[in-house]
Chains A and B, each alone.
Chain A
Amino acid sequence: MAFDPFRAIVCYGLFWIVRMNGCLRRARQPRLRGAGWFFDLRVPEDFYVTGGRTILRRYWMRIGIPFVVDIPIAAFIFLTGRFMLLPPLVLGLAALIHVNHVWSVHLAERQAQRLAVPDAGDPVARVALSLTPRRLRDYANGPLEWAMALSAAMAIMWLARVYTTSPAHLPARVVFGVPVTLLYVQLGAVLVKAIVVAWRAPAPLTQTAEHVDAREEKRKYYLRVCDAFRAAMTAAIVFWAIKISAPPASVAGLDRLWFAGYVAFGLAATVWIEIKRKQLVTLSLRARPVTLPDFLRQSELTRWPVCYQPSAPLLTLKGARGYSLNLANAFARAGVAYIAGLALLLVVLGSGR
């Protein structure tokens, strides 16, 4: 999609509306389970009037860090009129908000650990291990997969026809650059889906059904988000095929139509995500949080944000200082290869300019 300053400002404005809701949701998260809980940690009833108050306040301040980053940069952009920097800023902030949230929750829980009720973090003795195989194809939406594959294939065929017959003799990089990049991004979404499917699912023997239901619904939700993203990418490929073969006079109209569709899809997706999130919270609250046994002694395996542990089958290990990406895991290797491939693709596509 081509951004002009107006569209970039609209996107940034919409991002602010959406993030405010997310910010309020994250602020309420520690007390969702009631007075005796801080996130998933069992704490004394007076936690929020004693030592917990400071921990909660610090957590709230930490989730405000993205605003501290955003406001000066946005002010600079608006003052200098470099509005085309707004979309990259939005992308960067979206990543920062999520990483910062994971880090803030982890840190707050660690700080609250010393005030938790005795034995709160003790692992349960018995766990239920599901024997149902989980494969990517078990969670695939057949008609949607076919629709996306056929639409993308038809669009690529149409572009091939445009490339071979167009009197303008457009370079291959111009004609196929966008769809190839979008297909590659789709491949990344498939990789994320595979990771979500493999997401570990042990459950305690008490409230097993509640824990399994909550985990499965969360898994399906993330998979649907990935599919919606892939569908949007496919729509963008089809739109590109239409746009490139349209007469120059109608391109501006098509761009306006695409932008309106993009905004409408974004708003609909936001509403749907909020509804699903509320349902997931209700399901999660039914299952009392427990600590599962750590057979691998993960905290002893890792101290750094990345590690190499071939014997551990997990993508991330929970070390003493936070999560650590296990580079020995097949998904981690695939992720590294994917990022390298994306960089290479961007270099190849950019080299002809």
Chain B
Amino acid sequence: MVVTIDTTDARPLYQQVADGIKELIARGKLAEGTPLPPVRQLAADLGVNFNTIAMAYRELQKGGLIVIRHGSGSVVSSRTAAERTQAELVRPLRAALTELVLSGLSPDKIQRIVMRELRLAGKGGG
């Protein structure tokens, strides 16, 4: 189970780590209760500051995707446990759709992109 870090990606490292873990959870590759490596291990493996990984974990915790238990490590939380309103969940989608519309893509093309991404995100999971 790996996340990919790309040095040419404009996103900051912590965001790439958080997004990578989110993707694995969405695809069902990281099931509920799966332990995640300690911050210290990931920071040392990637050779980055502790805060970089800690920020990624905090973001995942804020999104209700992981539970950080001090002393016993972090685990993937139940997907239903993420008590977020639909409005909260739709907000980033709306922002991304706005970006696509502003970039001049046709609604049909945008729909195809969204459907493809949806299929990719749900692959292996549900």
Q: Which residues of A contact B (CB under 8 A)?
A: 123, 125-134, 198, 200-203, 205, 208, 292-296, 298, 311-314
Contact = CB atoms under 8 A, between A and B. Distances in A.
B111 interface: no
B31 to A, nearest CB: 12
Contacts of B30: 131
A128 B38 CA distance: 17
Interface of B: 1-8, 13, 17, 20-21, 24, 30, 35-38, 40-51, 73
Given A127-B4, A127-B5, A208-B2, A133 B48 contact: no
Residues of B contacting A: mostly: mixed
A200 B47 contact: yes
A107 B94 CA distance: 55
A132 B1 contact: yes
A203 B73 CA distance: 24
B10 to A, nearest CB: 13
B1 A130 contact: yes
A130 B47 contact: no
8 contacts: A123-B7, A129-B5, A131-B24, A131-B37, A133-B37, A133-B38, A296-B47, A311-B50
Contacts, number: 85
Contacts of B47: 200, 202, 292-296, 298, 313-314
A313 B40 contact: yes
A126 B6 contact: yes
B49 A128 contact: no
Contact of A313 (B6, B13, B44): B44
A126 B1 contact: no
Nearest to A128: B2
A296 B36 CA distance: 23
A123 B35 CA distance: 30
Contact of B3 (A125, A128, A201, A292): A128
A169 to B, nearest CB: 47
Contacts of B3: 128-129, 131
Nearest to B51: A311
Nearest to A298: B47
Contacts of A311: 49-51
Contacts of B35: 133
Nearest to A205: B4
